[in-house]
Amino acid sequence: MTVAKKEAQQSVLTALKGVKLSVDEQDFIKEYRKLEELEREKGIKFFECVGDPPHTDEFVEEVNAKRNDLITSTKNEMRHEDCSRFVTETDRDKVVVATTALHKIVAKPNWDSFENNHFAMRRRLVSIFLRVGNKVMNRLRAGRRLKKLQTWIEANGIRSRADMRQKVAEDFKKAQNTRMNDTDEKNDDIGNIRF
């Protein structure tokens, strides 16, 4: 910036400082500056979310009165319609919870973040599901392997332990000969096995 521009800005600022602002304009400027500061500090500032204020007794009583009126009016309408009805109708009952049910509930929710930890409860259910799923998969795999072993035993005509030892040794030799590379010196190295 050149010196002339700086002097021009200074003269404009001094002229603005001398201007008399009304109370509304001053309040607006104060609010605007607060908003600017909040925007600047947004990355590091944390806000506590307090939520809605708790319900007053009058509000709760008004809601209870409305619900009671609604329940009684629907019952009265149904009785009035039933007096002039001569044909059977399907039942249209809905679940209606009485307004006094809150006092009858024994197990009320306890707003303790450590006691009502839904995320931990979900993780526990997922871990139970995974354990049971792994057990079922292992049992299915073991059953398939058992069937394959039984068919292999029947196909090879194995009747005793000695026959089984002989067949297992032959199968091992066959596997060693087919899966090892002939060019390597070390035959017991896992790196020589072709997959």
8 A C-beta contact, residue 45 and residue 52: no
Distance, in Å, from the CA atom of 151 to the CA atom of 171, rounded to the nearest integer, reads: 15
8 A C-beta contact, residue 67 and residue 99: yes
Mean pLDDT score of the chain: 78
Distance, in Å, from the CA atom of 164 to the CA atom of 167, rounded to the nearest integer, reads: 5
Q: Is residue 23 part of a domain?
A: no
Residues 102 and 114 in one domain: no
**pLDDT value at residue 119:** 75
Q: Is the pLDDT reported for residue 72 higher than 80?
A: yes
Query: Which domain range does residue 129 map to?
Result: 110-156
Q: Measured on CA atoms in the order 83, 89, 91, 96, is the torsion positive or negative? A: negative
Q: How many CA atoms lie within 13 A of 187 on its CB side?
A: 8
pLDDT per position as a tens digit, 93-150: 677 777 677 677 776 666 666 666 677 778 888 999 999 999 999 999 999 999 999 9
**pLDDT value at residue 138:** 95
Distance, in Å, from the CA atom of 184 to the CA atom of 16, rounded to the nearest integer, reads: 90
Residues 152 and 165 in one domain: no
**pLDDT value at residue 176:** 80
Q: Is residue 41 part of a domain?
A: no
Cβ neighbors of 157 (< 8 A, separation 6 or more) are 163
Read off the tokens for 41.
Answer: 């500090």
**Domains identified in the chain, total number:** 3
Distance, in Å, from the CA atom of 178 to the CA atom of 170, rounded to the nearest integer, reads: 12
pTM of the model as a whole: 0.32
Total Cβ atoms within 10 A of residue 1: 6
Q: Is residue 74 part of a domain?
A: yes
Residues 64 and 104 in one domain: yes
Averaging pLDDT over each range in 140-144, 171-175, 179-183, which range is the top one? 140-144
Dihedrals phi, psi of 180, to nearest 5 degrees: -95, 145
Residues 103 and 115 in one domain: no
32 φ/ψ sector (left φ>0, alpha ψ -120 to 50, else beta) = alpha
Residues 123 and 163 in one domain: no
Residues 118 and 128 in one domain: yes
19 or 155, which is more confident = 155
Q: Is residue 7 part of a domain?
A: no
**pLDDT value at residue 28:** 85
164 or 12, which is more confident = 164
Q: Is residue 120 part of a domain?
A: yes
Residues 73 and 98 in one domain: yes
Q: Is residue 27 part of a domain?
A: no
Residues 167 and 193 in one domain: yes
Q: Is residue 33 part of a domain?
A: no
pLDDT per position as a tens digit, 29-42: 888 888 878 777 76
Residues 104 and 127 in one domain: no
83 or 118, which is more confident = 83
Q: Span 24-28, mean pLDDT? A: 82
CA distances 32 to 27, 28, 39, 48, 154, Å, are 8, 6, 11, 22, 89
